[in-house]
Amino acid sequence: MPVNTTTPAVLKITFENNTSGTNLELCAGTDATFAAGTVGMRLSDSGGPGFRFLTIIDAQKLSNQVIYVLRAVGTANSNFTINIE
C-alpha cells in the first residue's frame, strides 16, 4: 500500500540485514518499479548482520510510494529488521 501523507513530518528509518552472505537495499518507488524489481529511490543499503543503517527523510518525499526491499547480493532467503519512527 503506498504511503499517503501531505503532512510535513520527518521519519527516522533504521534498517538491518539479519542474513549473512546477502546485501539488501531498502527502496521506495511506484508499484511499477516494485513489480519490475528495480530501485526507485534507494533509502538504505545493508551490510551483514549487526550493522544497522539510519535514514532520515521527509515523509512527503515518500508520498504515493511503496517501500520495499531488494536483494543486491547473494541468493539465500534473507531476513531483515526495519523500524520507522
Q: Which grid cell is 51?
A: 550493522
Query: What's residue 4's pLDDT?
Result: 74
Q: What is the pLDDT of residue 1?
A: 66
2 in a structural domain: no
Give the model's pLDDT for residue 57.
94
Grouped pLDDT means (10 residues each) for the chain, 85 residues: 78 94 93 91 87 92 91 90 93
Residue 43 belongs to some domain of the structure:
yes
Size of the chain, expressed as the number of residues it contains:
85
Domain of 52? 10-84
pLDDT for residue 48: 77
In a domain, 64, yes or no: yes
The domain total for the chain is: 1
Does 53 reside within a domain? yes
Is 58 within a domain? Answer: yes
Provide CB contacts within 8 A for 11, sequence distance 6+. 55, 56, 57, 58, 59, 62, 84, 85
Rounded Cα–Cα distance for residues 75 and 64 (Å): 30
Judge whether 4 lies within some domain: no
Cell of 22: 546477502
* Residue 52 covered by a domain: yes
